[in-house]
Amino acid sequence: MKNKHILANQEDVNKMVFRISNEIVESSENHQDFILIGIKTRGEFLSARIKKNIDKILNFDTPMGTIDITFHRDDFSNKFLAPKLGPSVIPYDLTDKNIILIDDVLHSGRTIRAAIEEIFSFGRPKSIKLAVLVDRGHRELPIRPDFVGKNYPTKIEQHITVNMLEFDGKDEIAMVNK
């Protein structure tokens, strides 16, 4: 890619995931009352990694689900002529649960807004906290993360890409000029 600058390699990404996992454990009084939910696609893999760390720390099988937000996006008609849809998989009633919503990059906040709408179709949670691998700024909605792997402030013409081993064959965070 033209003008690509590597910000984090596999070791860096692993450290970020481990830190987020520990912060989630430290922030919760009742570990049996929270559910991890990853936003497809890379948030799903990030969620699985965080779950693995939390399970090891707590010696507990942390509940986890995934959501597809395609139909809740406010740019659906502009970007998706033939959308690739996947099902949301949340085999739990979310009513009165503490949700940890997980995604790779937080930018405008619109993806998170769409994810919250999807979550409410599975029940009314007690709380929703947000964990992201990267916060790049430029919010359009009043949304902020509770757990952040790394803040990478960007210019509006820059883009952050996250590659994950499970989907892309490598772990890497890069900044690309549009």
Domains of the chain plus CATH, in order, are 12-25+33-73+85-154 (3.40.50.2020)
Cα separation, 137 vs 141, in Å, equals 11
Q: Are 171 and 13 in contact (CB under 8 A)?
A: yes
Mark residue 22 as left, alpha or beta (left: phi above 0; alpha: psi -120 to 50; beta: remaining).
Answer: alpha
Cα separation, 115 vs 113, in Å, equals 5
By DSSP bridging, strand 127-135 and strand 172-177 are unpaired
Tokens of 41: 């696609």
| pLDDT for 71 | 58
Residue closest to 160 by CA, chosen among 141, 144, 174, 171: 174
Which 8-state DSSP code applies to residue 40? T
| pLDDT for 96 | 93
Terminal CA-CA length for the chain: 10
The number of C-alpha atoms within 13 Å of 105 and in the hemisphere containing its C-beta is: 18
Tokens of 51: 């779950």
In order along the chain (178 residues), what is the average pLDDT of each group of 10 residues? Answer: 88 98 92 92 97 96 94 52 68 92 97 95 95 96 97 95 97 94
Biggest CA-to-CA distance, the chain: 47
Say which residue the tokens 């399970």 belong to: 55
| pLDDT for 11 | 98
| pLDDT for 33 | 83
| pLDDT for 28 | 86
The one-letter code for the residue type at 113 is R
| pLDDT for 32 | 81
Cα separation, 177 vs 5, in Å, equals 9
**In 3-state terms, what secondary structure has residue 159?**
strand
pTM of the model: 0.91
